[in-house]
Chain A
Amino acid sequence: MKSRIVLIVVALLLLAGCAKATPEAATGEPRELRVMVYDSFSVSEDVIARFEAENNATVQFLKAGDAGKMLNQAILSRDNPQADVLYGVDNTFLSRALDADIFEPYKAKNLTAIPEALHLDDHYRVVPTDFGDVCLNYDKAYFDEHALTVPQSLADLTKPEYKGLLVVENPASSSPGLAFLIATIGVFGEDRYLDFWADLRANDVLVVDGWDTAYYNEFSGGAYSEGIRPLVVSYATSPAAEVYFSEGALTEPPTGAVTAPGTCFRQIEFAGILKGAENRDLAEAFIEFLLSDNFQADIPLQMWVFPANPNVTLPQVFTDFALEAAEPAEVPAAAIETNREQWIEAWAEVVLK
């Protein structure tokens, strides 16, 4: 018996030792602000350091998977929020976040600098921070070699000359995949998008799980692409990233983005203060900071999307090679939320079965 008690005591001691001691909130000690972000979020050290110095805070980032995974974690743990601020819910998932009521309203002062078109919540529960266009990317060399014109509309993709050339991501598991599906719904309407996809399937479209598989394993255009398909659903900024990450080896992108009207979907990303945030005032300061020139100017090279504030200076590689969609397809956020699951299931029925 004795040995058992000893074991239990040892176990409890182990657990007690492992539990993190809560820091004493003494005056003058920097307070900790926790920010939930998706995996590919990034920011410069000095930019954050400035916020920390100005607000006597330390910022603790919490990476929680891709955007969808992060949001569902935040919704699931809304009674015990993991963070004070959530960054990175996009317009395809915004309604779910708002319906689940995880954000506190806050009318940011710096919001005045952001174009009206990016404001999607009238109740100020979230602020737009950046946007990026999901567009077709093409392998320049392939189109040159085969003297093929680059498709200029989604309907073009069903033409015989593009048979077997396109790879897309599964909308059920990939954020650009979902954006592209929504673009087709915006362009063809709810009654005809499935016909388009049936034609696309007949034209031998390849569906893969995620962006990395599509871009690196199936697409042929990137400097490191292993695949043989010259058309992929990616971002309008991917060609610029190709140049930047070639470290001078490339002066021109090996790929191009199709930004013709009605071919892209604009993903707008938002940030908001989570309900139950421990440091409300600090969270407000952080929201202002996200909209400040300091942070906005840091966005392009860290995350390869455009800052929401149109007045900040873009880096050279962006002004040279990053494109913006001319007239992205539009679908209201509320319609996306109501129908997302049903659209994906109907799509899977047509494309995967």
Chain B
Amino acid sequence: MPDNIDHESQITSRNSQLLTRNSLLALPLLFLLLFYFYPLGEIFRVSLTWDAGPAPDALLARLFGPATLRTLGFTAGQALLSTALTLLLGLPGAYVVARYDFPGKRLLNALTTVPFVLPTVVVAAAFTAVLGPRSPLNQMLMNAFDLAHPPLDLRYTLGAILLAHVFYNYTLVLRIVGGFWANLDPHLEQAARTLGASPWRAFVDVTLPLLMPALAAAALLVFIFCFTSFGVILILGGPRFATLEVAIYRQAIDMGNFPLAAGLSFVQILCTLALTVVYTRLQGRLARPLELRPRWITQRRPRTWGEIAFVLANVGLGAALLGLPLVTLAARSFDAGLRYYTALFENPRGSIFYVPPVAAVGNSVKFALGTMALALLLGVLTATALYRRKQGWMLDALFMLPLGTSAVTLGLGYLLAMARPPLALRGTPALIVFGHTLVALPFVVRNVMPALQSIRPSLREAAATLGAPPARVFAEVDLPIVWRALAVGAVFAFTVSMGEFGATSMIARPELPTIPIAIYRFLSQAGALNYGQALAMSTLLMAVCVVGFVAIESLRPPGSEW
């Protein structure tokens, strides 16, 4: 660390900085207290004193019985495999995003985030269309080899679960790692090459260690997502597979066994906590201050044939993995021409629950923008307060918890806690924004934190020495550098809110339906028109998101070249 100011003044400035940082945390902590710990406490309190529940010893025996252990084993195992596979497939893509510039890159970038918002039922339909028994691929194979049965059927296997998890989470690796990598100075690796290191050696010894903070952040998010996976397991995995989240849902919703559901939720939260604590402790050690570079220095067009082939291969992989199901879905929504779209605007049966598409889009976008604004505010406050605090890792882990907490447990907690003063918010639109923000917040923090940690302290100190107050230092030094990370965080916050269904359906009022709610309504009845409208609404959801992503990413502070 360059010590160009004397020791004593450094300590004083540290102390005053610490004070400011503590006060920054007040708002995020209050938010977490009111909208996480309070509802969670309520549901645990009510569940554990439930009159119709099993006796405590029977409950404990079941909670720590072989069934729970098996579920836990499967939950962790599939999450580990999914994370490894996502990283393996995502890393080369992240490299391409970070180092090369090519036509259509921004749109492709936006498209990779689309899976994130799609309801599982719709994704399952898309997968079935691409890989199912009636898919063109299977028909072709059947014709070519004269088979009586379709040879390829991944559905209801572990393979389907892994594939779906890669489909959903690929973008996390691409965005978080790619975004960070894009600002890494390529000269470091080039220097290693000049000194005789092989490309592999240079990557492993120079780039990989520098990438670690972003890589670990992405891996953690992917893992937690897969660890708490619900819809993918139920719909694509089928009833033979169950994660803890699925078990909690079954106990709470299908069986009405609230005490056991609460116990399982507690186990799930403990696992998440243990994992995030390990991660946040590591994070401080992984991060190192870097000379970050703007993109016009780090990126260029692919030049050699080899480079072009590499870029094309990765774009092709992304297209096959993410694009094919999405395009199939969109294409099918036009099966009857524009009929499924025009039908969205009609209410022939005069249903009171008819959702005009414009209203659904409007509601979704409003909730998403609200979530984005609140998550950015709280996320930046949290990350700024925590990134250099000694004991920050504990608090940091705390802010990750909502992501690893059973959505159904939290939803039921909201139901109880928000029913009466002091927080009589049940049925208000604000509650939806708060609920979504709880899940979106970790994305902002995880994106912004590595970027903040990578800023050389000397930059800030220089600005401070020149008389800039802390707010100015943040605006002039930190903000331009973390802007990319902030934009990525914003995209995810927006996305989390756009696609969220479970909690919304539990706390929303029917007069404010979102797009996913409209999709589920169509899918609950038989008939071509219902299915067609669900497809049309899904395509609309994708389109709104792509527009949203491109818009968010093109917003940057004037003069910023990052």
Contact = CB atoms under 8 A, between A and B. Distances in A.
Contacts of A211: 524
Given A19-B425, A45-B352, A228 B530 contact: no
A222 B527 contact: yes
Interface size class of A (residues with CB under 8 A): 35 or more
B545 to A, nearest CB: 22
B85 interface: no
Given A7-B23, A48-B352, A217-B132, A40 B252 contact: no
B160 to A, nearest CB: 12
A3 B23 contact: yes
B428 A241 contact: no
Given A45-B350, A223-B528, A241-B527, A76 B254 contact: no
A213 B534 CA distance: 13
A197 interface: no
Interface in B153-206: 156
A60 B509 contact: yes
Nearest to B354: A45
Interface string A1-44: 10110011011000100111000000000000000000111111
B256 A173 contact: no
Given A42-B352, A80-B419, A226-B134, A207 B129 contact: no
A39 B521 contact: yes
Interface in A52-83: 60-65, 68-69, 71-73, 75-77, 80, 82
Interface string B119-147: 00100110011001110000000000000
Contact of A341 (B26, B255, B423, B523): B255
A42 B352 CA distance: 7
B250 interface: yes
A209 B526 contact: no
A48 B510 CA distance: 15
B510 A62 contact: yes
A31 B359 CA distance: 26
Interface in B303-355: 339, 349-354
B515 to A, nearest CB: 15
B523 A216 contact: yes
Given A217-B124, A224-B531, A82 B425 contact: no
A82 B415 contact: yes
A112 to B, nearest CB: 28
Contacts of B156: 206, 208
Interface stretch (B2-10, B233-241, B487-495, B552-560): B233-241
B351 A45 contact: yes
A15 B351 contact: no
B416 A76 contact: yes
A7 to B, nearest CB: 5
Contacts of A224: 527-528, 531-532
A159 B256 CA distance: 37
A352 interface: yes
Given A42-B351, A69-B253, A228-B133, A208 B428 contact: no
Contact of A46 (B23, B257, B350, B425): B350
A228 B132 CA distance: 9
A11 B239 contact: no
B426 A82 contact: yes
A7 B376 CA distance: 16
B528 A246 contact: yes
A276 B423 CA distance: 20
A128 B234 CA distance: 32
B524 A245 contact: no
Interface string A310-353: 00000000000000000000000000000001000000100010
A226 B129 contact: yes
Contact of A20 (B23, B255, B425, B532): B425
B426 to A, nearest CB: 7
A268 to B, nearest CB: 19
Interface centre among B26, B354, B526 (most CB of A within 10 A): B526
A238 B527 CA distance: 8
A222 B529 CA distance: 11
A296 to B, nearest CB: 16
Given A7-B23, A40-B521, A245-B528, A302 B129 contact: no
A89 B317 CA distance: 48
A249 interface: yes
A193 interface: no
Contacts of A139: none
A18 B527 contact: no
8 contacts: A8-B30, A10-B27, A72-B253, A80-B416, A82-B426, A222-B527, A246-B529, A352-B239
Which 10 pairs show the lowest CB-CB distances between chains A and B? A245-B527, A18-B430, A223-B528, A224-B531, A80-B419, A245-B529, A4-B23, A40-B524, A241-B526, A44-B350
Interface of B: 20, 22-23, 26-27, 30-31, 34, 46, 52, 121, 124-125, 128-129, 132-134, 150, 156, 234-235, 238-240, 250, 252-258, 339, 349-354, 412, 415-416, 419-420, 423-428, 430, 505-506, 508-510, 520-521, 523-532
